[in-house]
Amino acid sequence: MVAPQKQSIRQNPYPDALPDFRNVGVLVRIVLLVNLGALAAAAVSAATLGDIAARFTLISAWTEPELLAAVIVLYVAAAPLLLLPYWAGVLGALACAVCGSVVMALAVNAIMGPERAQPWLWHAGWAFAAGVVLLEYFRLRNRAFSPALSEARLQALQARIRPHFLFNSINAVLSLMRSEPHRAETALEDLAELFRNLMADNRALTTFGEEVSLTRQYLNLEQLRMGDRLVVDWQVDASSESAAVPPLLLQPLVENAVYHGVEPGVGPGRVDIHAKVQSDELRIMIANPYHPDHPHRGGNHMALDNIRERLQLHFDVDAQLDTGVEMEQGVARYVIRMRLPFRKLNASRPLNRQQPSQD
């Protein structure tokens, strides 16, 4: 009997999911694809090349108002749709698109008069067909990006586990075993929990509160060996902790802040970690001392590029990560600013803190 083959992390299926109809990138793609479909229909139905523009204008006169109505309905219904199982969400999205299209078609028919009116079932059929094509496009696009998410997760994992951090943490715990055994036990628990999360299959979104907790555990370990040299200024609004974010979003950047900003200095170094919800966005700021000539600095870009990639994969154009050097009372500080849409984690998509797959 042949033993079942162990699954690699790259082979783990990424679940089908509805697109977020509040996402600007999703809405732009819907509009572009529908208009490309209208242009294709105009090209097929036109007798000559010169007639294509006229046919496209005529088709657009019907499709654009209905498209606008369907997009508005989907935008309003996006949050409850994402709470549904995938196939129930698909049916709900199709129903929303058809309803928006039919209501607008009836309004246009009333304006244009009965002699130019078209049956509402005709509009409902085209809206349903367009919806099926678009949802299948987004499903296939999600499947296509699944390997990219897996690879990004692996890159994040490989970039995060620095041997010097593990060795220093173990040495710090050993130094406390006799003098402060309770503190040493707590540190070992933090270390185990930290590495359990780092090794987990972290492709689904998690909450920002989970990321804050993971980062605090990491900083507790760094505080053991650095003592008063490490100063952390936490300013995290309670409202931000329910936001859905990619896993391993905060801890890698804070680790870089310690490694590149605090360790190279000769005195105390302050790491700022600020987060708040503003204008329906989660805004995160991380700042640390800046040492432009230190050799550690060059390694910072791997984590930044990885997080940029994962933000784009999860939130498309709605998320942004910027970096720069800012002066604070004559002292240079390296600052990372992120903004991403504030979305609460859906109850139907639990935290993905699973054990790692076997390679």
Per DSSP (E only), the strands in the chain are 206-207, 230-236, 244-245, 269-278, 281-289, 320-328, 331-341
351 inside domain: no
- In terms of Cα–Cα distance, which of 97, 108, 12, 20 is closest to 61? 108
Instruction: Based on the fold, state whether residues 73 and 182 are members of the same structural domain.
Output: no
b (16+ CB within 10 A) / e for 182-207: eebebbbebbeebeebbebbbbbbbb
Domain that holds residue 87: 24-144
pLDDT value for 196: 76
Query: Do residue 323 and residue 184 come from a single domain?
Result: yes
Q: Are 229 and 262 in contact (CB under 8 A)?
A: yes
Domain check: are 110 and 39 in the same one? Answer: yes
Q: What pLDDT is stored for residue 222 in this prediction?
A: 84
- 84 inside domain: yes
How far is Cα 98 from Cα 66, in angstroms, rounded to an integer? 9
Do both 190 and 331 map to the same domain? yes
Give me the DSSP letters along 210-276: HHHHHHHHHHHHHHHHHGGGEEEEEEE-GGGGGBEE-SSSSHHHHHHIIIIIITTSSS-EEEEEEEE
Angle subtended at Cα 297 by Cα 294 and Cα 302, rounded to the nearest 5 degrees? 160
Is 98 in the same domain as 179?
no
137 and 240 share one domain: no
Helix (H) or strand (E) holding 15: none
Kindly state whether residues 125 and 209 are assigned to the same domain.
no
- Check residue 110 and give its pLDDT: 74
Contacts of 29 (CB under 8 A, 6+ apart): 137, 138
C-alpha–C-alpha distance, residues 202 and 199, integer Å: 8
Give me the number of domains the chain comprises. 2
Query: What pLDDT is attached to residue 301?
Result: 66
- Residue 321 has what pLDDT? 94
Per-residue pLDDT of the chain (359 residues; tens, 9 = 90+): 444 444 433 444 557 788 889 888 899 999 999 999 888 888 888 878 878 888 888 888 878 888 899 999 999 999 899 888 889 999 999 999 999 888 888 887 777 666 666 677 888 888 899 999 999 999 888 777 766 555 655 555 545 555 566 666 777 777 777 777 887 888 888 888 777 776 665 667 889 998 998 899 888 888 887 888 999 999 999 999 999 998 888 988 998 898 888 888 888 999 999 999 998 999 999 999 998 776 555 555 667 887 888 888 788 889 999 999 998 888 899 999 999 999 887 544 444 444 444 33
Q: 316 near 343, Cβ under 8 Å?
A: no
Q: What is the largest CA-CA distance in the chain?
A: 93
pLDDT of residue 36: 92
User: Would you say residue 312 lies in a domain?
Assistant: yes
Give the side-chain half-sphere CA count within 13 A for 42. 21
Q: Is residue 1 a part of any domain in this protein?
A: no
The pTM score is 0.71
CA distance 211 to 205: 11
Residues 176 and 320 in one domain: yes
Residue 338: beta bridge partners? 284, 321
CATH code, 184: 3.30.565.10
Q: What is the pLDDT at residue 9?
A: 38
Question: Three-class SS string for 145-161?
Answer: HHHHHHHHHHHHHHHHC
Q: Determine, yes or no, domain membership for 203.
A: yes
Residue 326: strand pairing partners: 333
Q: Per the domain annotation, does 18 fall within a domain? A: no
Please report whether residue 283 resides in a domain.
yes
Indicate the angle between helix axes 51-83 and 120-160, nearest 10 degrees: 60
